[in-house]
Structure 1
Protein backbone atom coordinates (compact mmCIF):
# COMPACT_ATOMS: atom_id res chain seq x y z
CA UNK A 1 0.00 0.00 0.00
CA UNK A 2 1.33 3.42 -0.94
CA UNK A 3 2.20 5.83 1.82
CA UNK A 4 0.07 9.03 1.70
CA UNK A 5 2.13 11.98 0.46
CA UNK A 6 2.76 14.63 3.08
CA UNK A 7 0.66 17.75 2.60
CA UNK A 8 2.65 20.62 1.15
CA UNK A 9 3.16 23.48 3.63
CA UNK A 10 0.86 26.33 2.67
CA UNK A 11 3.73 28.84 2.51
CA UNK A 12 5.50 26.68 -0.09
CA UNK A 13 2.25 26.36 -2.03
CA UNK A 14 1.76 30.13 -2.10
CA UNK A 15 5.38 30.74 -3.11
CA UNK A 16 4.93 28.37 -6.05
CA UNK A 17 1.72 30.14 -7.12
CA UNK A 18 3.34 33.56 -6.97
CA UNK A 19 6.45 32.45 -8.85
CA UNK A 20 4.50 32.35 -12.11
CA UNK A 21 3.64 36.05 -11.84
CA UNK A 22 0.51 37.75 -13.13
CA UNK A 23 -3.07 36.83 -12.22
CA UNK A 24 -3.48 33.46 -10.52
CA UNK A 25 -5.55 30.64 -12.00
CA UNK A 26 -9.06 30.52 -10.57
CA UNK A 27 -10.21 27.09 -9.39
CA UNK A 28 -13.50 25.88 -10.89
CA UNK A 29 -16.35 24.05 -9.15
CA UNK A 30 -15.50 20.37 -8.79
CA UNK A 31 -12.15 20.95 -7.11
CA UNK A 32 -12.24 19.66 -3.51
CA UNK A 33 -10.52 22.80 -2.18
CA UNK A 34 -13.79 24.68 -2.75
CA UNK A 35 -15.64 22.20 -0.54
CA UNK A 36 -13.36 22.13 2.49
CA UNK A 37 -13.58 24.56 5.41
CA UNK A 38 -10.51 26.77 5.20
CA UNK A 39 -7.82 26.76 7.86
CA UNK A 40 -7.81 29.84 10.11
CA UNK A 41 -5.00 32.21 9.27
CA UNK A 42 -2.50 32.21 12.13
CA UNK A 43 0.60 33.64 10.51
CA UNK A 44 1.32 30.71 8.20
CA UNK A 45 2.59 33.04 5.44
CA UNK A 46 4.47 35.65 7.43
CA UNK A 47 3.98 39.40 6.82
CA UNK A 48 5.95 39.71 3.58
CA UNK A 49 4.48 36.64 1.91
CA UNK A 50 0.97 37.56 3.09
CA UNK A 51 1.34 41.01 1.50
CA UNK A 52 2.44 39.45 -1.79
CA UNK A 53 -0.42 36.96 -1.69
CA UNK A 54 -2.98 39.69 -0.98
CA UNK A 55 -1.65 41.69 -3.92
CA UNK A 56 -1.96 38.63 -6.16
CA UNK A 57 -5.56 38.14 -5.02
CA UNK A 58 -6.28 41.78 -5.82
CA UNK A 59 -4.70 41.47 -9.28
CA UNK A 60 -6.58 38.25 -9.99
CA UNK A 61 -9.94 39.65 -8.82
CA UNK A 62 -9.58 42.75 -10.99
CA UNK A 63 -8.42 40.79 -14.03
CA UNK A 64 -11.32 38.32 -13.85
CA UNK A 65 -13.10 40.77 -13.31
CA UNK A 66 -14.98 40.24 -10.06
CA UNK A 67 -15.98 42.03 -6.88
CA UNK A 68 -14.55 39.48 -4.46
CA UNK A 69 -12.17 36.54 -4.32
CA UNK A 70 -11.45 34.01 -1.59
CA UNK A 71 -8.17 32.17 -1.15
CA UNK A 72 -9.70 28.73 -1.88
CA UNK A 73 -10.66 30.05 -5.32
CA UNK A 74 -6.96 30.08 -6.19
CA UNK A 75 -6.40 26.72 -4.47
CA UNK A 76 -5.22 27.97 -1.07
CA UNK A 77 -7.22 26.74 1.91
CA UNK A 78 -6.73 29.72 4.21
CA UNK A 79 -9.44 31.99 5.66
CA UNK A 80 -8.48 35.02 3.61
CA UNK A 81 -10.61 36.91 1.09
CA UNK A 82 -10.55 40.23 -0.71
CA UNK A 83 -13.34 42.41 -2.03
CA UNK A 84 -13.69 45.59 -4.03
CA UNK A 85 -16.63 46.96 -5.98
CA UNK A 86 -16.49 50.12 -8.09
CA UNK A 87 -20.25 49.59 -8.66
CA UNK A 88 -20.47 50.93 -12.23
CA UNK A 89 -24.24 50.35 -12.47
CA UNK A 90 -27.25 52.43 -13.52
CA UNK A 91 -29.00 54.48 -10.84
CA UNK A 92 -32.07 52.21 -10.77
CA UNK A 93 -29.91 49.15 -10.16
CA UNK A 94 -27.96 50.99 -7.46
CA UNK A 95 -31.16 51.99 -5.71
CA UNK A 96 -32.95 48.63 -5.92
CA UNK A 97 -29.96 46.45 -5.03
CA UNK A 98 -28.23 48.81 -2.63
CA UNK A 99 -25.08 48.53 -4.71
CA UNK A 100 -22.67 51.23 -3.67
CA UNK A 101 -18.91 51.46 -4.27
CA UNK A 102 -16.70 49.52 -1.90
CA UNK A 103 -12.98 50.19 -1.43
CA UNK A 104 -10.47 47.37 -1.58
CA UNK A 105 -10.66 45.34 1.64
CA UNK A 106 -8.82 42.32 2.98
CA UNK A 107 -10.77 39.94 5.22
CA UNK A 108 -8.79 37.61 7.47
CA UNK A 109 -10.68 34.96 9.46
CA UNK A 110 -14.02 36.65 8.70
CA UNK A 111 -17.38 35.59 10.08
CA UNK A 112 -20.81 37.14 9.62
CA UNK A 113 -24.15 37.04 11.36
CA UNK A 114 -27.55 38.48 10.38
CA UNK A 115 -28.19 42.04 11.46
CA UNK A 116 -31.98 42.22 11.29
CA UNK A 117 -34.59 39.87 9.79
CA UNK A 118 -34.81 41.22 6.23
CA UNK A 119 -33.74 39.09 3.28
CA UNK A 120 -33.20 40.05 -0.34
CA UNK A 121 -33.02 37.87 -3.45
CA UNK A 122 -31.06 38.71 -6.60
CA UNK A 123 -29.17 36.92 -9.35
CA UNK A 124 -25.63 36.11 -8.30
CA UNK A 125 -22.63 34.62 -10.05
CA UNK A 126 -19.25 33.23 -9.09
CA UNK A 127 -15.81 33.25 -10.69
CA UNK A 128 -15.52 29.54 -9.82
CA UNK A 129 -18.78 28.75 -11.65
CA UNK A 130 -18.21 30.68 -14.88
CA UNK A 131 -21.01 31.20 -17.38
CA UNK A 132 -23.94 30.82 -14.99
CA UNK A 133 -26.01 32.84 -12.53
CA UNK A 134 -28.83 31.99 -10.13
CA UNK A 135 -31.06 33.80 -7.66
CA UNK A 136 -29.89 33.63 -4.04
CA UNK A 137 -31.85 34.92 -1.06
CA UNK A 138 -29.44 36.37 1.48
CA UNK A 139 -29.52 38.51 4.60
CA UNK A 140 -30.02 42.13 3.58
CA UNK A 141 -27.76 43.28 6.41
CA UNK A 142 -24.94 41.46 8.20
CA UNK A 143 -22.41 42.14 10.90
CA UNK A 144 -18.89 41.18 9.82
CA UNK A 145 -16.15 40.40 12.32
CA UNK A 146 -12.56 39.33 11.77
CA UNK A 147 -9.26 41.07 11.06
CA UNK A 148 -7.55 42.82 8.18
CA UNK A 149 -4.18 41.84 6.74
CA UNK A 150 -2.38 43.92 9.38
CA UNK A 151 -4.12 42.16 12.27
CA UNK A 152 -6.49 45.02 13.04
CA UNK A 153 -9.94 43.99 14.26
CA UNK A 154 -12.91 44.31 11.90
CA UNK A 155 -16.41 44.79 13.26
CA UNK A 156 -18.70 46.42 10.72
CA UNK A 157 -22.29 46.25 9.51
CA UNK A 158 -22.81 45.86 5.76
CA UNK A 159 -26.09 46.37 3.93
CA UNK A 160 -27.37 45.83 0.41
CA UNK A 161 -24.97 44.52 -2.23
CA UNK A 162 -21.85 44.86 -0.04
CA UNK A 163 -23.57 42.54 2.48
CA UNK A 164 -24.12 40.04 -0.35
CA UNK A 165 -20.44 40.14 -1.31
CA UNK A 166 -19.37 39.61 2.30
CA UNK A 167 -21.66 36.58 2.62
CA UNK A 168 -20.59 35.10 -0.71
CA UNK A 169 -16.87 35.36 0.00
CA UNK A 170 -17.12 34.21 3.62
CA UNK A 171 -19.19 31.23 2.48
CA UNK A 172 -16.30 30.22 0.22
CA UNK A 173 -14.12 29.94 3.32
CA UNK A 174 -16.64 27.50 4.81
CA UNK A 175 -16.68 25.30 1.71
CA UNK A 176 -20.05 26.66 0.54
CA UNK A 177 -20.80 27.71 -3.04
CA UNK A 178 -23.57 30.14 -3.91
CA UNK A 179 -25.39 27.32 -5.71
CA UNK A 180 -25.90 25.61 -2.35
CA UNK A 181 -28.16 28.53 -1.37
CA UNK A 182 -29.67 29.26 -4.80
CA UNK A 183 -33.14 28.78 -6.25
CA UNK A 184 -32.03 26.15 -8.75
CA UNK A 185 -35.02 26.79 -11.03
CA UNK A 186 -33.52 30.24 -11.59
CA UNK A 187 -30.19 28.89 -12.90
CA UNK A 188 -29.48 30.80 -16.10
CA UNK A 189 -26.62 30.98 -18.57
CA UNK A 190 -24.84 34.26 -19.13
CA UNK A 191 -26.52 34.40 -22.54
CA UNK A 192 -29.98 34.01 -21.00
CA UNK A 193 -29.15 36.64 -18.40
CA UNK A 194 -28.22 39.16 -21.08
CA UNK A 195 -31.22 38.33 -23.25
CA UNK A 196 -33.97 37.84 -20.66
CA UNK A 197 -33.16 38.71 -17.07
CA UNK A 198 -31.23 41.98 -17.01
CA UNK A 199 -33.92 43.79 -14.98
CA UNK A 200 -32.94 45.27 -11.59
CA UNK A 201 -34.95 42.59 -9.73
CA UNK A 202 -35.54 38.89 -10.48
CA UNK A 203 -39.34 39.25 -10.32
CA UNK A 204 -39.87 38.46 -14.01
CA UNK A 205 -37.57 35.45 -13.81
CA UNK A 206 -39.47 34.16 -10.77
CA UNK A 207 -42.76 34.35 -12.68
CA UNK A 208 -41.42 32.78 -15.87
CA UNK A 209 -39.17 30.11 -14.35
CA UNK A 210 -41.43 29.18 -11.44
CA UNK A 211 -39.65 29.95 -8.19
CA UNK A 212 -40.50 32.00 -5.13
CA UNK A 213 -38.94 35.17 -3.83
CA UNK A 214 -38.80 36.04 -0.11
Structure 2
Protein backbone atom coordinates (compact mmCIF):
# COMPACT_ATOMS: atom_id res chain seq x y z
CA UNK A 1 0.00 0.00 0.00
CA UNK A 2 1.40 3.45 -0.87
CA UNK A 3 2.63 5.42 2.14
CA UNK A 4 0.20 8.29 1.61
CA UNK A 5 -2.70 5.84 1.56
CA UNK A 6 -1.50 4.21 4.79
CA UNK A 7 -1.32 7.59 6.48
CA UNK A 8 -4.81 8.50 5.26
CA UNK A 9 -6.04 5.31 6.95
CA UNK A 10 -4.25 6.21 10.19
CA UNK A 11 -5.74 9.69 10.18
CA UNK A 12 -9.23 8.35 9.59
CA UNK A 13 -9.29 7.17 13.20
CA UNK A 14 -10.41 9.71 15.78
CA UNK A 15 -8.19 10.81 18.63
CA UNK A 16 -4.47 10.25 19.21
CA UNK A 17 -2.65 7.69 17.09
CA UNK A 18 -1.54 4.37 18.59
CA UNK A 19 2.09 4.34 19.69
CA UNK A 20 4.18 1.41 18.53
CA UNK A 21 6.09 -0.36 21.30
CA UNK A 22 9.55 -1.94 21.38
CA UNK A 23 9.67 -5.22 19.49
CA UNK A 24 7.97 -3.85 16.38
CA UNK A 25 10.42 -3.95 13.43
CA UNK A 26 9.45 -0.42 12.33
CA UNK A 27 11.37 0.89 15.35
CA UNK A 28 14.53 -0.95 14.27
CA UNK A 29 14.75 0.12 10.64
CA UNK A 30 16.20 3.40 9.34
CA UNK A 31 13.30 5.57 8.27
CA UNK A 32 12.92 6.67 4.66
CA UNK A 33 14.03 10.26 3.96
CA UNK A 34 11.09 12.58 3.35
CA UNK A 35 11.15 13.73 -0.24
CA UNK A 36 7.63 14.89 -0.97
CA UNK A 37 5.91 11.52 -0.51
CA UNK A 38 3.03 13.41 1.15
CA UNK A 39 1.25 16.36 -0.38
CA UNK A 40 1.43 19.52 1.78
CA UNK A 41 -2.13 19.18 3.10
CA UNK A 42 -1.62 15.53 4.11
CA UNK A 43 1.77 16.33 5.64
CA UNK A 44 0.16 19.09 7.71
CA UNK A 45 -2.55 16.71 8.93
CA UNK A 46 0.05 14.07 9.81
CA UNK A 47 2.17 16.59 11.71
CA UNK A 48 -0.90 17.70 13.65
CA UNK A 49 -1.69 14.07 14.49
CA UNK A 50 1.86 13.61 15.79
CA UNK A 51 1.45 16.75 17.91
CA UNK A 52 -1.87 15.57 19.37
CA UNK A 53 -0.47 12.10 20.08
CA UNK A 54 2.66 13.52 21.74
CA UNK A 55 0.56 15.75 24.01
CA UNK A 56 -1.85 12.96 24.90
CA UNK A 57 0.88 10.47 25.84
CA UNK A 58 2.27 12.82 27.28
CA UNK A 59 5.78 13.24 25.93
CA UNK A 60 8.24 15.87 24.76
CA UNK A 61 8.95 14.30 21.38
CA UNK A 62 7.54 11.78 18.94
CA UNK A 63 9.01 10.30 15.77
CA UNK A 64 6.97 9.02 12.85
CA UNK A 65 8.16 5.40 13.26
CA UNK A 66 6.61 5.45 16.75
CA UNK A 67 3.20 5.55 15.08
CA UNK A 68 4.21 2.97 12.50
CA UNK A 69 5.23 5.37 9.72
CA UNK A 70 8.81 4.85 8.45
CA UNK A 71 9.49 8.48 7.45
CA UNK A 72 12.24 10.79 8.75
CA UNK A 73 9.84 13.17 10.49
CA UNK A 74 9.65 13.96 14.20
CA UNK A 75 8.03 16.56 16.42
CA UNK A 76 9.28 18.02 19.70
CA UNK A 77 7.84 20.33 22.33
CA UNK A 78 8.75 20.77 25.99
CA UNK A 79 7.04 23.27 28.30
CA UNK A 80 9.66 22.23 30.90
CA UNK A 81 7.48 22.51 34.03
CA UNK A 82 10.32 21.61 36.40
CA UNK A 83 11.74 23.08 39.62
CA UNK A 84 14.59 25.56 39.32
CA UNK A 85 17.19 23.14 40.67
CA UNK A 86 16.21 20.58 38.02
CA UNK A 87 16.34 23.23 35.30
CA UNK A 88 19.84 24.24 36.33
CA UNK A 89 21.17 20.69 36.70
CA UNK A 90 19.73 19.39 33.44
CA UNK A 91 19.61 22.49 31.28
CA UNK A 92 15.92 21.89 30.82
CA UNK A 93 14.40 25.00 29.30
CA UNK A 94 11.13 25.42 27.41
CA UNK A 95 11.19 24.29 23.80
CA UNK A 96 8.42 25.44 21.45
CA UNK A 97 6.67 23.04 19.11
CA UNK A 98 9.01 22.13 16.27
CA UNK A 99 8.84 19.78 13.30
CA UNK A 100 12.08 18.06 12.30
CA UNK A 101 12.27 16.72 8.74
CA UNK A 102 15.27 14.61 7.73
CA UNK A 103 17.23 15.64 10.83
CA UNK A 104 20.76 14.59 11.63
CA UNK A 105 23.05 15.69 14.44
CA UNK A 106 26.70 15.88 15.35
CA UNK A 107 28.29 16.69 18.74
CA UNK A 108 29.63 20.18 19.39
CA UNK A 109 32.58 19.77 21.75
CA UNK A 110 33.39 16.79 23.92
CA UNK A 111 31.17 17.45 26.96
CA UNK A 112 28.75 14.67 27.86
CA UNK A 113 26.18 14.25 30.63
CA UNK A 114 24.13 11.31 31.87
CA UNK A 115 20.50 11.53 32.94
CA UNK A 116 17.50 9.24 33.17
CA UNK A 117 15.51 8.98 29.95
CA UNK A 118 12.26 7.25 29.13
CA UNK A 119 10.50 6.52 25.86
CA UNK A 120 6.87 6.29 24.84
CA UNK A 121 7.74 3.13 22.91
CA UNK A 122 9.36 1.50 25.96
CA UNK A 123 6.63 2.18 28.54
CA UNK A 124 7.19 1.70 32.24
CA UNK A 125 10.98 2.03 32.30
CA UNK A 126 13.77 4.59 32.42
CA UNK A 127 17.54 4.36 32.24
CA UNK A 128 20.50 6.70 32.35
CA UNK A 129 21.90 7.68 28.97
CA UNK A 130 25.15 9.60 28.50
CA UNK A 131 24.83 12.03 25.60
CA UNK A 132 26.66 15.07 24.21
CA UNK A 133 25.45 18.22 25.95
CA UNK A 134 25.60 20.27 22.73
CA UNK A 135 24.74 19.14 19.23
CA UNK A 136 24.38 20.73 15.84
CA UNK A 137 21.13 19.67 14.22
CA UNK A 138 20.60 20.01 10.49
CA UNK A 139 17.61 19.19 8.32
CA UNK A 140 14.47 21.18 7.53
CA UNK A 141 11.05 22.00 8.88
CA UNK A 142 7.69 20.90 7.49
CA UNK A 143 7.71 23.78 5.00
CA UNK A 144 11.09 22.84 3.55
CA UNK A 145 12.97 25.66 5.29
CA UNK A 146 16.53 24.68 6.17
CA UNK A 147 17.36 23.92 9.80
CA UNK A 148 20.91 24.37 11.08
CA UNK A 149 20.91 25.01 14.80
CA UNK A 150 22.90 24.22 17.93
CA UNK A 151 20.88 22.71 20.77
CA UNK A 152 22.18 22.64 24.35
CA UNK A 153 21.16 20.87 27.54
CA UNK A 154 17.84 19.06 27.65
CA UNK A 155 16.69 20.24 24.20
CA UNK A 156 19.88 18.65 22.82
CA UNK A 157 18.92 15.40 24.53
CA UNK A 158 15.41 15.51 23.04
CA UNK A 159 16.57 16.05 19.47
CA UNK A 160 19.17 13.27 19.80
CA UNK A 161 16.54 10.87 21.18
CA UNK A 162 14.07 11.62 18.38
CA UNK A 163 16.67 11.59 15.60
CA UNK A 164 17.92 8.24 16.92
CA UNK A 165 14.40 6.86 16.42
CA UNK A 166 14.69 7.75 12.74
CA UNK A 167 17.89 5.68 12.56
CA UNK A 168 16.29 2.62 14.18
CA UNK A 169 17.99 3.30 17.52
CA UNK A 170 16.22 3.16 20.90
CA UNK A 171 17.53 4.91 24.00
CA UNK A 172 18.15 1.53 25.65
CA UNK A 173 20.84 0.89 23.01
CA UNK A 174 22.83 3.77 24.50
CA UNK A 175 21.84 3.32 28.14
CA UNK A 176 23.75 2.23 31.22
CA UNK A 177 21.79 -1.00 31.66
CA UNK A 178 22.61 -1.23 35.37
CA UNK A 179 20.56 1.95 35.76
CA UNK A 180 17.40 0.44 34.23
CA UNK A 181 14.59 1.29 36.65
CA UNK A 182 10.82 1.09 36.71
CA UNK A 183 9.08 4.45 36.49
CA UNK A 184 7.82 4.14 40.05
CA UNK A 185 11.33 3.50 41.33
CA UNK A 186 12.69 6.53 39.50
CA UNK A 187 9.94 8.71 40.95
CA UNK A 188 10.29 7.33 44.45
CA UNK A 189 14.02 6.82 44.72
CA UNK A 190 15.95 8.54 41.93
CA UNK A 191 14.06 11.80 41.52
CA UNK A 192 17.07 13.99 42.38
CA UNK A 193 18.18 16.56 39.78
CA UNK A 194 21.14 14.33 38.81
CA UNK A 195 21.53 10.52 38.86
CA UNK A 196 24.65 10.55 41.05
CA UNK A 197 22.98 8.59 43.86
CA UNK A 198 21.65 6.04 41.38
CA UNK A 199 25.12 5.63 39.87
CA UNK A 200 26.65 5.09 43.29
CA UNK A 201 24.03 2.61 44.54
CA UNK A 202 23.38 0.73 41.28
CA UNK A 203 27.03 0.54 40.24
CA UNK A 204 27.47 2.42 36.99
CA UNK A 205 29.61 5.37 35.91
CA UNK A 206 28.60 8.84 34.82
CA UNK A 207 30.60 11.01 32.40
CA UNK A 208 33.16 13.27 34.06
1:120-178 deviation per Cα after TM superposition (whole angstroms, max 9, x unaligned): 10000000001000000001000000000000000000000000000000000000000
Is 1:129 aligned with 2:126? no
Counterpart for residue 177 of structure 2:
184
* Residue in structure 2 matching 1:99, options 89, 92, 95: 92
Q: TM-score of the superposition, structure 2-length normalised?
A: 0.99
**1:60 counterpart residue number:** 53
What is the rounded CA distance, in whole Å, between the counterparts of 1:190 and 1:107 in structure 2? 28
Q: Which 5+ residue runs of structure 1 have no aligned equivalent?
A: 1-7
Instruction: Kindly report the root-mean-square deviation, in angstroms, between the aligned alpha carbons of the 2 structures.
Output: 0.4
Query: In 1, Cα distance between the equivalents of 2:175 and 2:73?
Result: 24
CA drift of 1:59 comes to: 0.2
Q: Based on CA coordinates, which of the two structures has the bigger radius of gyration? A: 1
Q: 1:159-198 counterparts in 2 under 5 A?
A: 159-198=152-191
| Structure 1 CA distance for aligned equivalents of residues 184 and 99 of structure 2 | 32
Where do 1:7-22 residues align within 5 Å?
8-22=1-15
Q: How far did 1:194 drift?
A: 1.3
Structure 1: how far apart are the matches of 2:7 and 2:104? 23
1:68-122, CA deviations, whole angstroms, 9 ceiling, x for partnerless residues?
Answer: 0000000000000000000000000000000000000000000000011100100
TM-score w.r.t. the length of structure 1 is 0.96
Equivalent residue in structure 2 for 1:78, among 64, 71, 80: 71
Runs of 4+ in structure 1 off by over 4 angstroms are none
- Residue in structure 1 matched with residue 103 of structure 2 by the alignment: 110
Q: Which residue of 1 aligns with 2:25?
A: 32
Equivalent residue pairs, number: 207
Please state whether the residue corresponding to 1:193 is helix, strand or coil. helix
3-state SS, counterpart of residue 136 of structure 2: strand
- Candidates 183, 188, 199, aligned match of 2:192: 199
User: C-alpha separation between the residues in 2 aligned to 1:46 and 1:113?
Assistant: 30
Q: State the SS of the aligned residue for 2:81.
A: coil
* Unmatched tracts of structure 2, length 5 or more: none
Aligned to 2:137: 144
